[in-house]
């Protein structure tokens, strides 16, 4: 019998980054088609402009810096598509062009490429666009879920992504296939809905296509979200809290994008705080409890604690 010995990591299945990325593109295809049906061929031009510029930027940067050409892994296509879907239907055609260039050049490659960037490149570009060209980034209307029919076709949608929440159901398939992890979406949704209910917000403003898109596709971006199990739960809860804070005082569409972008800021901190210890080490909650107890001046308060 022949034994093969090789160093880790060992590939256990055929799931690759390329496969996951193209599956995400396919999962976004239904909502892209619905947006073209609803807004017309101009929406298709926005999508093509976003994807085209993202691919060209990726190709040029990798050629100039003599890097391996990674166009076929699909990430540039995914970045351009996701950014285009986050734009208003009446945005000038140069908006997705500028945004896709910024997402790939600054959001991705300036930070070192796949696995090295801190923020989701799509959100980096969206924040840049809304700060630099705010008048072009505000849609003419914000959706409000008023009935079952709005789940299938939202007539009040202003962004391409808002036309049909049900058309984003492909994200659930990604979870079922374990291409994306379930903890972040689950705790993001639960936290948002519970807090929005407690503060008395209209659920019709909360449950939108942008929210479903953010939960399933933006918050689950692997390089910009935590890798530890507890960290993913905390991250999902944090996204929900930030979404409700912003959405309660402004609108829940932009709240989703801003909250995930801000949550990206603390991803590394969450990971470092939730790293699993070795056997018999104190848990995360035990460490936090001990740190809090150490800061309380029991001796000054005259409290005696038994060993």
Question: What is the Cα–Cα distance from 134 to 128, expressed in whole angstroms?
Answer: 9
Choose between 32 and 300: higher pLDDT. 32
Question: 264: exposed, middle or buried (C-beta count within 10 Å: 0-12, 13-18, 19+)?
Answer: buried
Which range has highest mean pLDDT (6-15, 94-103, 139-148)?
A: 94-103
pLDDT at 301 over 90: no
Structure tokens at 27: 């999962």
Structural domain spans, the chain: 17-270
What average pLDDT does range 263-288 have in this prediction? 79
d(C-alpha 67, C-alpha 304), whole Å: 64
**pLDDT at residue 287 is higher than 80:** no
CATH superfamily of 17-270: Ammonium transporter AmtB like domains (1.10.3430.10)
Please say if the pLDDT value at position 50 is more than 90: yes
Helical spans, DSSP H, in the chain: 17-39, 41-64, 75-85, 94-102, 121-132, 134-137, 148-152, 170-176, 183-198, 203-206, 209-213, 229-249, 252-265, 267-273, 284-295
Q: Predicted confidence band at 307 (pLDDT cuts at 50, 70, 90)?
A: low
Which bin fits 16, alpha (ψ -120 to 50), beta or left (φ > 0)? beta
3: pLDDT confidence band, cut at 50, 70 and 90?
low
- What pLDDT, on a 0 to 100 scale, did the predictor assign at position 22? 94
Q: What is the dihedral of CA 252, 170, 179, 59, to 10 degrees?
A: -80
For the stretch 54-57, contacts whose Cβ atoms lie closer than 8 Å and that sit 24 or more positions apart, written own/partner, are 54/79, 54/80, 54/83, 54/100, 54/101, 54/103, 54/104, 55/80, 57/100, 57/101, 57/104, 57/105
Instruction: Provide mean pLDDT across the span 244-254.
Output: 93
Query: Cα 263 from chain centroid?
Result: 10
Q: Find the mean pLDDT for residues 187-200.
A: 95
Mean pLDDT across the chain: 88
Q: What is the mean pLDDT of residues 200-225?
A: 91
The span from the CA of 303 to the CA of 298, in Å, is 5
Structure tokens at 76: 């540039």
Percent of the chain with pLDDT over 70: 92
Q: Do 246 and 261 meet the contact criterion of CB atoms below 8 Å apart?
A: no
Whole-number Cα distances in Å, 148 to 89, 144, 152, 181, 207? 23, 11, 7, 28, 12
3-class secondary structure, 66? coil
């Amino acid at each position: 019998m022949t034994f093969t010995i090789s160093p880790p990591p060992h590939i256990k299945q055929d799931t690759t980054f390329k496969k996951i990325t193209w599956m995400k593109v396919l999962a976004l295809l239904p909502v892209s088609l619905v947006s073209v049906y609803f807004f017309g061929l101009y929406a298709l031009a926005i999508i093509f402009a976003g994807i085209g510029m993202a691919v060209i930027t990726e190709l040029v940067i990798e050629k100039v810096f003599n890097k391996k050409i990674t166009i076929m892994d699909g990430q540039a296509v995914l970045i351009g598509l996701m950014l285009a879907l986050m734009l208003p239907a009446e945005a000038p055609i140069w908006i997705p062009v500028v945004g896709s260039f910024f997402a790939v050049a600054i959001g991705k490659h300036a930070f070192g490429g796949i696995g090295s960037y801190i923020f989701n490149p799509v959100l980096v570009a969206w924040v840049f666009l809304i700060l630099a060209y705010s008048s072009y980034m505000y849609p003419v209307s914000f959706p409000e879920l008023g009935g079952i029919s709005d789940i299938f076709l939202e007539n009040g949608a202003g962004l391409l992504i808002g036309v049909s929440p049900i058309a984003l159901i492909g994200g659930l398939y990604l979870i079922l296939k374990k291409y994306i992890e379930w903890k972040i979406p689950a705790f993001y949704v639960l936290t948002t809905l519970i807090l929005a209910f407690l503060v008395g917000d209209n659920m019709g403003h909360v449950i939108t296509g942008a929210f479903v898109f953010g939960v399933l596709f933006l918050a689950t971006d692997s390089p910009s979200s935590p890798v530890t199990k507890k960290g993913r739960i905390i991250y999902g809860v944090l996204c929900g809290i930030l979404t409700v804070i912003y959405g309660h005082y402004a609108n829940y569409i932009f709240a989703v994008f801003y909250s995930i972008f801000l949550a990206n800021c603390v991803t590394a901190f969450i990971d470092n705080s939730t790293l699993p210890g070795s056997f018999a080490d104190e848990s995360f909650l035990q460490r936090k409890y001990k740190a809090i107890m150490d800061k309380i001046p029991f001796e000054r308060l005259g409290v005696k604690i038994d060993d």
